């Protein structure tokens, strides 16, 4: 007798497999737990960097900063990404997951590994920042924890690939995999490269920390570490771009403008992102300019091109879909009439705008070999990557969570009024934090620094008053962003516990990773996933152009060019260096 393992969500039409959905829930929930921990730490860090508050002691600050980076950038994001991988394979392809038992092993390793590092931080002897540059030593359990976590994540990646193979063999879908799954494949391939690079450096570092290896070359460490550290950011980009496409499809029924362009852009990520790790080493000694220029530009700019393409095609797809629905007035009616009160949309769209306009532009500018001289290790850098990961990735994941709570967890959102405001509050806070860190960094304020007034130093140096003031505003922004992040955690966890059950089988335990009641799973084999119907509306395909999006893209390009040359001008005022 065949067992019924699938359920069909009556609201979305998605099929969830019993084992896969439990894994998805467990990973997503743990991700949110780390977002909460990391967010509280971020609040403490931001309140310390605001000179007028200067909350924590120096030691506590450096520990909190190490834990903030690790918990939120690595654990929140990667736990959630593994959930995305299960969703993009098992759910979207209507396929049973490969070896779900191993999936739980992977989950367990990630859990244990992450807890080990957090314990190391709490013990206080591993405040080395998440980059853990040698020869500054952390405790062995810190490196071991990271390695276990990485192995767990790797298992998740292989299950994803295995699931794709099963789906292909069992013909659960027709034609090629959907674009969103394709994006997840990109993320997965980059993840495997990333973890290999991380293993290549963290294993020797672990041996070094227990005394089995006497020396690790710090420059080589940086090269390999960034092979992991940078590429892992590309996992995030691929994953959140896939989420953007998914949300565009869910809310608007948007189809990619053309499959070829969107998929080609994902392919560019795979081909060129790895080399871009070089932009972390632009002002390192012992590496030639030729190497730096080749690796950052040849590679990075083609990956940049890919992001610029997605930046056009995601809103472009929405615009085309909206225009077909009749929002055809002027350039922007499609955007004005979008569901701005729905956090799934507002979160996704602000993620896209802030990622592109702020994260993208600042990233490329500071990744220019010579311009890096005026930016390296200033607080500009955290300004940049809060635009990419804290708004770009995190807000996109928050947005899709609002969709998943009813669909995957079968709970109604609690406090929908608050949910409506949450993306705006988070983004407003983040924008203050980001823009003022960028500003202070341009004036030279260092990152990872407890006291820019140098009260305990043997000498004195006074940063410009405006720089100190900007750090104050950034701190206020950080507090507001933390409030916005807290609202998200409250709504998400609150809904899982107290939200109205949309399905009688959605028990408390099933919110946290146990399967729902057996009776919920009443489908043995889902219907095959059919190809997108050929252009639905009568109008001859290409008549609908995304003009508004194109104008937005030109505004983006103009900002990019202007900002680049402003920085080049600033660079030219420096001492002569050669």
Considering only residues 47 to 66 of the shown chain, the ones binding ligand HEM according to CB under 6 A are 49, 65
Q: Does 135 bind another protein (CB under 8 A)?
A: yes
Residues 477-516 that bind ligand HEM (CB under 6 A): 478, 481-482, 485
How many residues bind another protein, per CB under 8 A?
116
* Residues 502/412, Cβ–Cβ less than 8 Å: yes
Q: How far apart are CA 558 and CA 364, in angstroms?
A: 14
| 3-class secondary structure, 264 | helix
**Tokens standing for residue 406:** 């009813």
Interface residue with another protein among 11, 58, 123, 562 (CB under 8 A) is: 58
**Tokens standing for residue 159:** 């299950």
Interface residue with another protein among 56, 352, 364, 433 (CB under 8 A) is: 364
Region from 6-14, 117-125, 211-219, 444-452 binding ligand HEM, contact rule CB under 6 A: 444-452
Interface residue with ligand HEM among 39, 178, 227, 356 (CB under 6 A) is: 39
Interface residue with ligand HEM among 20, 36, 37, 43 (CB under 6 A) is: 43
We find the least distance from the C-beta atom of residue 477 to ligand HEM, in angstroms, to be 8
We find the least distance from the C-beta atom of residue 480 to ligand HEM, in angstroms, to be 9
Which residues have CB under 8 Å from 338's CB, separation 6+?
A: 318, 322, 345, 349
Which of another protein, ligand HEM, none binds 68 (CB below 5-8 Å, type-dependent)? ligand HEM
Q: How far apart are CA 354 and CA 358, in angstroms?
A: 5
Of 70, 102, 109, which is closest to residue 86 (Cα–Cα)? 102
Region from 200-208, 350-358, 389-397, 400-408 binding ligand HEM, contact rule CB under 6 A: 389-397
**C-alpha to C-alpha distances, 514 to 148, 291, 506, nearest whole angstrom:** 24, 51, 10
Other Cβ atoms closer than 10 A to 221: 20
Residues 90-129 that bind another protein (CB under 8 A): 92, 127-129
We find the least distance from the C-beta atom of residue 386 to ligand HEM, in angstroms, to be 6
Q: How far apart are CA 532 and CA 272, in angstroms?
A: 30
Interface residue with another protein among 41, 159, 249, 344 (CB under 8 A) is: 249
Site string for ligand HEM, 293-322 (x = CB under 6 A): ------------------------------
446 forms beta bridges with 378
In the chain the first and final C-alpha atoms are separated, in Å, by 77
530: left (phi over 0), alpha (psi -120 to 50) or beta: beta
Which of another protein, ligand HEM, none binds 575 (CB below 5-8 Å, type-dependent)? another protein
Residues 404-433 that bind ligand HEM (CB under 6 A): 433
Interface residue with another protein among 109, 248, 396, 398 (CB under 8 A) is: 248
Q: How far apart are CA 211 and CA 259, in angstroms?
A: 53
* Residues 90/27, Cβ–Cβ less than 8 Å: no
We find the least distance from the C-beta atom of residue 2 to ligand HEM, in angstroms, to be 42
Q: Does 45 bind ligand HEM (CB under 6 A)?
A: yes
Interface residue with another protein among 174, 211, 214, 465 (CB under 8 A) is: 174
* Residues 24/83, Cβ–Cβ less than 8 Å: yes
* Residues 117/146, Cβ–Cβ less than 8 Å: yes
We find the least distance from the C-beta atom of residue 11 to another protein, in angstroms, to be 14
525: left (phi over 0), alpha (psi -120 to 50) or beta: beta
Which residues have CB under 8 Å from 290's CB, separation 6+?
A: none
Cβ closer to another protein: 364 or 492?
364
Q: What are phi and psi of 411, to 5 degrees?
A: -125, 145
81, 87, 92, 95 alpha-carbon torsion, rounded to 10°: 120
Q: Does 394 bind ligand HEM (CB under 6 A)?
A: yes
Residues 542-571 that bind another protein (CB under 8 A): 542, 545-547, 549-550, 553, 557, 560-561, 564, 568, 571
Site string for ligand HEM, 523-562 (x = CB under 6 A): ----------------------------------------
Interface residue with another protein among 2, 101, 285, 417 (CB under 8 A) is: 285
- Helical ranges in 74-217 per DSSP H: 77-86, 92-93, 100-123, 140-169, 179-209
Q: At 474, which helix (H) or strand (E)?
A: helix 465-498
Region from 118-126, 286-294, 302-310, 446-454 binding ligand HEM, contact rule CB under 6 A: 446-454
Which of ligand HEM, another protein, none binds 498 (CB below 5-8 Å, type-dependent)? none
Interface residue with ligand HEM among 30, 32, 73, 85 (CB under 6 A) is: 73
* Residues 83/29, Cβ–Cβ less than 8 Å: no
We find the least distance from the C-beta atom of residue 242 to another protein, in angstroms, to be 8
How many residues bind ligand HEM, per CB under 6 A?
28
Residue with tokens 């550290």: 229
* Residues 86/92, Cβ–Cβ less than 8 Å: no
Residue with tokens 């220019």: 368
Site string for another protein, 304-343 (x = CB under 8 A): xx--xx--xx--xx--------------------------
Q: At 8, which helix (H) or strand (E)?
A: strand 6-8
Which of ligand HEM, another protein, none binds 401 (CB below 5-8 Å, type-dependent)? none
504 prior amide bond cis, ω within 30: no
Which of ligand HEM, another protein, none binds 49 (CB below 5-8 Å, type-dependent)? ligand HEM
Residues 123-152 that bind ligand HEM (CB under 6 A): 129-130
For residues 446-457, b (16+ Cβ closer than 10 Å) or e, as one string? ebbbbebeeeee
Q: Does 282 bind another protein (CB under 8 A)?
A: yes
**Tokens standing for residue 496:** 């899982």
| Residue ranges that bind ligand HEM, judged by CB under 6 A | 39, 42-43, 45-46, 49, 65, 68-69, 72-73, 77, 129-130, 379, 382, 386, 389-390, 394, 433, 447-449, 478, 481-482, 485
């Amino acid at each position: 007798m065949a067992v019924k393992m699938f359920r069909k969500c009556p609201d979305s039409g998605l099929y969830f497999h019993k084992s896969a959905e439990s894994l998805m829930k467990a990973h997503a929930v743990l991700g949110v737990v780390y977002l909460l921990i990391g967010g509280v730490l971020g609040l403490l860090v931001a309140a310390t960097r605001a000179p007028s508050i200067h909350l924590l002691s120096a030691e506590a600050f450096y520990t909190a900063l190490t834990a903030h980076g690790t918990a939120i950038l690595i654990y929140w994001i990667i736990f959630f990404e593994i959930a995305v991988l299960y969703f993009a394979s098992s759910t979207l392809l209507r396929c049973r997951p490969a070896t779900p038992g191993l999936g739980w092993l992977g989950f367990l390793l990630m859990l244990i590994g992450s807890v080990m590092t957090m314990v190391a931080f709490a013990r206080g002897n591993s405040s080395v920042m998440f980059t853990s540059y040698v020869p500054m030593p952390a405790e062995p359990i810190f490196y071991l924890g990271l390695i276990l976590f990485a192995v767990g994540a790797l298992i998740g990646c292989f299950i994803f690939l295995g699931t794709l193979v099963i789906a292909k063999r069992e013909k659960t879908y027709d034609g090629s995999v959907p674009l969103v799954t394709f994006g997840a494949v990109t993320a997965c391939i980059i993840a495997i490269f990333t973890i290999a690079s991380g293993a290549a450096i963290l294993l020797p570092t672990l041996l070094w920390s227990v005394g089995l290896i006497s020396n690790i070359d710090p420059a080589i460490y940086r090269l390999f570490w960034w092979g992991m550290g940078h590429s892992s950011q590309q996992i995030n980009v691929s994953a959140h771009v896939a989420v953007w496409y998914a949300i565009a499809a869910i809310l608007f029924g948007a189809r990619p403008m053309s499959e070829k362009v969107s998929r080609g852009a994902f392919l560019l990520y795979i081909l060129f992102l790895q080399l871009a790790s070089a932009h972390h080493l632009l002002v390192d000694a012992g590496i030639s300019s030729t190497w730096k220029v080749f690796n950052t530009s040849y590679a990075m700019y083609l990956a940049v091109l890919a992001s610029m393409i997605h930046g056009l095609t995601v809103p472009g797809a929405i615009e085309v879909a909206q225009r077909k629905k009749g929002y055809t007035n002027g350039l922007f009616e499609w955007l004005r009439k979008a569901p701005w009160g729905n956090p799934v949309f507002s979160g996704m769209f602000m993620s896209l705008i802030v990622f592109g306009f702020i994260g993208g532009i600042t990233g490329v500018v500071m990744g220019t070999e010579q311009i890096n001289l005026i930016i390296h290790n200033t607080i500009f850098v955290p300004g940049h990557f809060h635009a990419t990961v804290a708004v770009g990735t995190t807000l996109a994941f928050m947005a899709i969570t609002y969709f998943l709570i009813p669909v995957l967890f079968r709970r109604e959102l609690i406090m929908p009024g608050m949910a409506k405001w949450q993306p705006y509050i988070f983004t407003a806070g983040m924008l203050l934090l980001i823009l003022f860190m960028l500003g202070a960094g341009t004036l030279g304020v260092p990152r990872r620094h407890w006291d820019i007034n140098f009260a305990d130093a043997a000498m004195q140096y006074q940063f410009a008053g405006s720089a100190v003031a900007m750090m104050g505003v950034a701190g206020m922004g950080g507090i507001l962003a933390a409030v916005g992040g807290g609202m998200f955690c409250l709504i998400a966890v609150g809904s899982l516990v107290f939200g109205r059950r949309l399905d009688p089988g959605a028990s408390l335990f099933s919110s946290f990773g146990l399967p729902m009641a057996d009776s919920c799973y009443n489908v043995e084999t889902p219907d095959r996933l059919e190809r997108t119907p050929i252009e639905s509306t009568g109008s001859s395909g290409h008549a609908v152009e995304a003009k508004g999006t194109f104008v937005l893209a030109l505004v983006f390009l103009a900002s990019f060019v202007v900002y680049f040359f402003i920085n080049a001008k600033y660079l030219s005022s420096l001492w002569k260096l050669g």
